Structure 1
Amino acid sequence: MPFLDKLLKEKPRTPAEVVSKLTGAIEALSAARRDEKASEKANESLAKYLGCAKLLLFGDDEHEATKENAVALAQEASRTDLLSLIVKNLDVMEFESRKDAAQIFGALVRIKENDERGPGATYVLAHPEIPTLLFNGYNDPVIALNCGAMLRDCLRDDQIARKVLDGPVFLKFFEKVEVANFEIASDAFSTFKDLLTRHKSVVAAYLQDHYQEFFQAYLQLLRSNNYVVRRQSLKLLGELLLDRSNVKVMLKFVSDVQHLMTMMVLLKDQSRSIQFEAFHVFKVFVANPNKPQPIIDILANNREKLLKYLEDFHTEKEEDEQFKEEKAVIIKTISLLGTPAQPPTPAPAPAEGVPADSTA
């Protein structure tokens, strides 16, 4: 008899029964944290009931999953605090159970009813400590990647994303993407990027309301000593500025002299990949038809150096017609800039004994 058939005959099969048993198993595991024998028994029980939940949610080759069962499981999970229990006890679960629990959590949060917010997402929205706990999971290498995946599942909902953006956790992402552990830093950046690109209107409103603090922190990423952080941050910045939802933010960003100077430094970075990503942000400064005079002055003062540099800039990519055309436009625009206005030369002081000319 296949294992899952045996499991179904021996264990509860309705969504309500599965959630009840699963909740009990997690509570037992939590209570047995310091009791090795009790923890072993609780982990065995947990693995069985996680298997039941996975079968209801995903089915297998012989058992087809139904939306009705999935929705019922999500409803029961929301009524019994199962989602909170999973998050709070992820660290004491065994490796395979932890993977299964994260997968089940994600499915329960994603499930929708008639294209409306489902019970799982509604539960997380009413318990804002859940995204915070998942973010804090990045501090524990054992559960960091599980927590990252679960947090990204939560952020699929626009209202949860809005709460995270407006809450105390978001600005801490700027630290997490630079931690020493490469896997954790990369996962944190994936979550950071998801949060800034998935819900465009929500993000546009956030960037307008928190422009100063956001870009003050973001510029530090562009100056990071970590090559991967600089490259990923530059690429994401280009995506944000060129998104139509962020037009107001883009115009403000490219009117700032310090931002232009940062891009000009990155254009000459030792890494050709970073040079290339910097070009896609630099071109927005040049192409802006309403450049403030200080921006024009910097471009004009550096015109000859910029033209010489851009002439040989990534010539190996000129088979890319779009890049070739953009580069030609930028070169032409810079070449047509007039020299910056010079301050008037003060009139020489009159010689001793000679009265100044007072004629109009």
Structure 2
Amino acid sequence: MSLFSRRKNPDQLVKLLKDAFADPSAPAKPSKDGTAVEEITKRLSEMKLLLYGDGEQEAKPEKCAQLAELLIASGLVPKLIMGLDKLPFEARKQFAQVYNNLMRRDLAGFVSYVDRKPEILSALVAGYENAEVALNCGTMLRESIRHEILAGKILYSPDLWKFFDVYVHLPNFEVGSDAFATFKDLFTRHKNLAATFFTSNFDVVFAKYNCLLMSENYVTRRQSLKLLGEILLDRSNFDIMMKYIG
């Protein structure tokens, strides 16, 4: 029998994770199995294994769906995102992999769940303000943006303007570059959605975009110019291009 088959079931995993994360100060408090943060890391690792499988056994679809349902019902997803900076590197990485798997496969209606919980996407966007969690939040954001309904949620929220005004200018090169990758996905992944957004918000969007083209940061200027060309030359943005150059 493989180690995988002896691991805890989804119900046990979610209950143990919820217990470990129940107290906001839990990561600093001991638990009977070691520190609470070690418990959280362990359970996230087991959840990742359940969702992705291992070399001996593939992931079981029914268990994956059950885990997703239980995580949604538990309310742990937003709590984990908001407490991500209290967790060590490995736990943050594992949680991002769990989130991305649920999102990519839309297990138990995970996409609709995130759509109904705007605080999740807002917390992920705000993750760019903390270099320790920024890259983890970036991967989760881009996985979310693959779904048009969630991309639209960000495009039409106040969070979008933080990319123009703050995040793509961050002095930390890795974080600023990651933020720009997310920024680019928002404007290029779903062509019709972006075209509608540009049409409805032309003046404010391109006033802010022109500021990017005049940034003191050479990398920001170069990336912005390249992205602008990609946006304007896309067939779905023909009317936008004509208005911009006019």
TM-score relative to the length of structure 1: 0.64
Partner of 2:105: 111
**Contact 1:26/1:89 (<8 A) preserved:** no
Match of 1:143 among 133, 138, 159: 133
Partner of 1:357: none
How big is each residue's C-alpha offset from its partner over 1:226-265, in whole Å with a ceiling of 9 and x where there is no partner? 111111111111111111111111110111xxxxxxxxxx
Counterpart residue number, 1:21: 16
Runs of 4+ in 1 over 4 A off after TM superposition: none
1:187 aligns with 2:182: no
Query: Quick one: higher RCO (CA 8 Å, sep 6+), 1 or 2?
Result: 2
1:69: how far off? 2.5
Mapping for residues 1-360 of structure 1, pairs under 5 Å:
5=3, 9=6, 11-13=7-9, 15-28=10-23, 30-35=24-29, 37=30, 41-112=35-106, 119-174=109-164, 175-255=166-246
- Percent of residue pairs bearing the same amino acid type: 41
What runs of 5+ residues in structure 1 fail to find an aligned partner? 256-360
Q: CA deviation at 1:71?
A: 2.4
**2-structure distance, mates of 1:124, 1:34:** 29
- Structure 1 window deviating more from structure 2 (59-68 vs 158-167): it is 59-68
Give 1:43 shift: 1.5
In structure 1, the residue corresponding to 2:132 is in which secondary structure?
coil
Q: For residues 31 and 181 of structure 1, what CA distance do their matches in structure 2 show?
A: 29
Q: Distance in 2 between matches of 1:49 and 1:33?
A: 14
Contact 1:78 1:119 in 2 (8 A): no
Pairwise CA RMSD: 2.0
Per the alignment, residue 335 of structure 1 pairs with none
Greater mean deviation of Cα atoms: 208-217 or 81-90: 81-90
1:116-157, Cα deviation, whole Å (9 max, x unpaired): xx5211111001111111111111111111111111122121
Q: Give the Å deviation of 1:184.
A: 0.8
Given that 1:102 and 1:147 are in contact with CA atoms closer than 8 Å, whether structure 2 keeps it comes out as: yes
Aligned-partner Cα distance in 1 for 2:219–2:14: 42
Q: State the shift of 1:51 in Å.
A: 2.1
Residues 174-199 of structure 1 deviation map (CA, whole Å, 9 limit, x = unaligned): 12101111111001000000111111
Instruction: Report the structure, 1 or 2, having the larger helix content.
Output: 2
Aligned length: 244
Q: Deviations over 1:51-73 (max 9, x none)?
A: 22112110110121133322222
In 2, Cα distance between equivalents of 1:146 and 1:40? 25
**Would the aligned equivalents of 2:20 and 2:26 in 1 still touch at CA under 8 Å?**
no
Aligned-residue offset at 1:34: 5.0
Give the match for residue 281 of structure 1. Answer: none
- 2:27–2:87: 8 Å Cα contact kept in structure 1? no
Deviations 1:256-300 (A, max 9, x none): xxxxxxxxxxxxxxxxxxxxxxxxxxxxxxxxxxxxxxxxxxxxx
Supply the distance in 1 between the matched residues of 2:95 and 2:21 (Cα, whole angstroms). 10
Bigger Rg, which one: 1
Contact 1:86/1:105, CA 8 A, preserved across alignment = no
User: 1:71·1:111 contact (CA, 8 Å) conserved in 2?
Assistant: no
> Matched residues in 1 for 2:55 and 2:219: separation?
41
Structure 2: 5+ residue runs without aligned partners? none
Distance in 2 (CA, whole Å) between partners of 1:73 and 1:130 is: 18
The one-letter code of the counterpart of 1:89 is: G
1:40–1:250 CA distance, 2 compared to 1 (3 A): farther
